[in-house]
Chains A and B, each alone.
Chain A
Amino acid sequence: MLTVLFDGIATGALLFMLALGLSVTLGIMNFVNLAHGAFAMLGGYVAVVLLKGWDVPLLWCLPAAFLIPAAVGVVLERTLYARLYGASPLDQVLFTIGIVFVSMAMASYFMGAQHQIIQLPPFLGGQFHVFAGFDVGVYRLFLIGVCGSIALLLQFVLTRTRFGSRLRASVDNARVARGMGVDVDRLFAITFAVGSGLAGLAGALGIEILDLDPTFPVKFMVYFLIVVAVGGAGTLGGPLAASLVLGICDVAGKYYISEVGAFIIYTVMVVILILRPQGLFGRPVVR
């Protein structure tokens, strides 16, 4: 029972990191970025290449899995995404889904279509026994630790720093923020980069749990969108709560009623959205 809860929290933590960037672009920049999963996949492949091709230890791969997708994110944001900020959602969706297909074809071409298999360092493998009925997987504990620290760090940056207050101001009203001398474009570029980087990091951490192959961006797009829809876009607490709820329901559903396990998260989403159409933490739409 507790093991199931623990596994659910770990899955939720991973989902949170994966979806956070999407929540940011969607909520803060009002941009429908379906290609978010492509950055996660990029992070995953960066880790695989470093691990297998260069024998870099896993812990050193993680910063690279953050930095490279972040850098690619900045480049794409400046050259491509920025042109579509004012465009209609349909244009944005078509454009980003195009990026998804390009990224999948490239992954297939360069890395092959097979699942990527990595070997964890021994100190991250295995489980330890807490008490009867509660076993803790070391890797999942590590995941929760990493995601927890990142969530705390982001919370600190958003609420306690100048950058955070500017960002929140731009989100609330980009026009006024611009009028007050805030460089909104630069803020958005940085935010986009961080979001992409986090996705990349999560992609790398998730190889062990989610199976990395070129269909990754499409396979998990639904999960990202559910997290954002249920959590409400543009906040930190919303996606966190939504990810945890979904992660726990997904794992528990597969464990207890495996016949319909795969559908549980959709049911949860439908129920939550009926009760709270704006999402768990979203503000009511006033536009």
Chain B
Amino acid sequence: MRIKLPLHAMLVAVAMSALLSSGASAQQSLKIGLIVPMTGPFASTGKQVDAAVKLYLAEHGDVVAGRKIEVLLRDDTGVAPETTKRFAQELVTNDHAEIIAGFGLTPLAFAAAPVATEAKTPMIVMAAGTLVIPQKSPYILRTSFTLPQQTAPIAMWAAKHGIKKVYTIVTEYGPGIDAETTFKTVFTANGGEVSGARVPLNNPDYAPFIQRAKDAKPDALFIFIPSGEGAAVMKQFAERGLAAAGIKLIGTGDVTDDDILDGMGDAALGTITSHFYSAAHPSPENKAYVAAFEKANGGMRPNFMSVGGYDGMALIYQVLQKTGGSTDGDKFVAAAKGLSWMSPRGKMTIDPATRDVIQDVYLRKVERVNGHLYNVEFDRVEAVLPDGK
């Protein structure tokens, strides 16, 4: 350990002795490093997660198992893995964060994973959705979702409801390729036919891709794009008259993200998606969650990213109660395995085998409810495994 100033040296010595003598003392706060993009193109993810974490603390108090929780927020600005990694390192070594959490996109989770492994620090992935993420470190736990898990149900649904030919458009990065592969595998196994294209990340204009999809004359167009880009797709879908040409729009819930859905207008009506969370999920837990979230954030509607953050905190609290406040990497992960609780999204479980999330996935249709657009659930696939099986 490098020590620059005498003052730091003293602080470090005090902190060390406190750690050594009593393990965890009541006075010493437990720091959680929260790394999410708060600015840049994916700022919506960070804002939702941050708001949910704050809400959880406000609702459940900031003391758990005798330890005071302190959240240190860091903004990694979007697709900047080196920034994420630097923050993770600084949080663990300089700020003595005992848990790191957040991670808005797959490459960012990958960048932080080695830090978690080396420091044996529990790492809670609250947003990123590529299947392989938890394999990158034995200390990763995930409370969001995986793309295969979200994609398989809509592929099954399409195959069962008279859709024979599907054109897929996915963004060309981890989750997009996960979604495309899963859709193709499940849909063709059920007798369907798939063709498609990949769109570069940060693509400004979807028009040529949507036109190509229209000219391919499929029964349905399957879309995966990062959360926040749905509106651009929806516009082109409407402008080019795909609905009139008899093409259904289907996808994972990223396209009809609750955060921006209401601004999409009538173009989004009738879109069918499969996803683990809708702000319109009709459970008492969710109604309370949405009301509290909107009240605390000036009417901002919670989306699926927020639930990942909220449940990330729920996981941390429950594990700390089990471990008596210890954040030792191995103990923490062991205590988390198999935990199961009622979230605003419905029942969720931490899979003991993969440290990933097992949850119900819903089929939803965009409808107008009390003048606002919502994803209204009409069917449910229970306890879907992380790999979509």
Contacts and interface: CB of A to CB of B under 8 A. Distances in A.
Contacts of A113: 39-41, 43-44
Given A117-B263, A117-B264, A261-B208, A127 B43 contact: no
Nearest to A125: B239
| Pairs A-B, 6 closest by C-beta atoms | A113-B43, A254-B208, A258-B197, A255-B208, A262-B200, A117-B263
Contacts of A244: none
Interface stretch (A175-183, A191-199, A210-218): A210-218
Contact of B241 (A127, A252, A255): A127
Interface in B254-268: 260, 263-265
A117 B260 contact: yes
Contact of B202 (A3, A209, A219, A259): A219
B43 A112 contact: yes
Interface string A1-39: 001100100010000000000000000000000000000
Interface in B193-251: 197-200, 202-205, 207-209, 211-212, 228-229, 231-232, 235, 238-241
B239 A139 contact: yes
Contacts of B264: 117
A262 B206 CA distance: 12
Contacts of B238: 125-126
A79 interface: no
Contact of A259 (B198, B231, B232): B198
Contact of B239 (A11, A137, A211): A137
Interface of B: 39-41, 43-44, 197-200, 202-205, 207-209, 211-212, 228-229, 231-232, 235, 238-241, 260, 263-265
A251 interface: yes
A119 interface: yes
Contacts of A259: 197-198
Nearest to A133: B215
B211 A4 contact: yes
A39 B191 CA distance: 52
B44 A208 contact: no
A108 interface: yes
B251 to A, nearest CB: 18
A135 B208 contact: no
Given A115-B41, A252-B208, 19 more contacts: A11-B205, A11-B207, A108-B39, A113-B39, A113-B41, A113-B44, A115-B228, A126-B239, A127-B240, A127-B241, A137-B239, A139-B239, A209-B204, A220-B204, A251-B208, A255-B209, A258-B209, A259-B197, A261-B208
Interface of A: 3-4, 7, 11, 108, 112-115, 117, 119, 125-127, 135, 137, 139, 208-211, 213, 215, 219-220, 250-252, 254-255, 258-259, 261-262
A258 B198 contact: yes
B85 to A, nearest CB: 22
A119 B209 contact: no
Contacts of A261: 200, 208
Given A7-B211, A135-B240, A255-B208, A117 B231 contact: yes
A119 B263 CA distance: 8
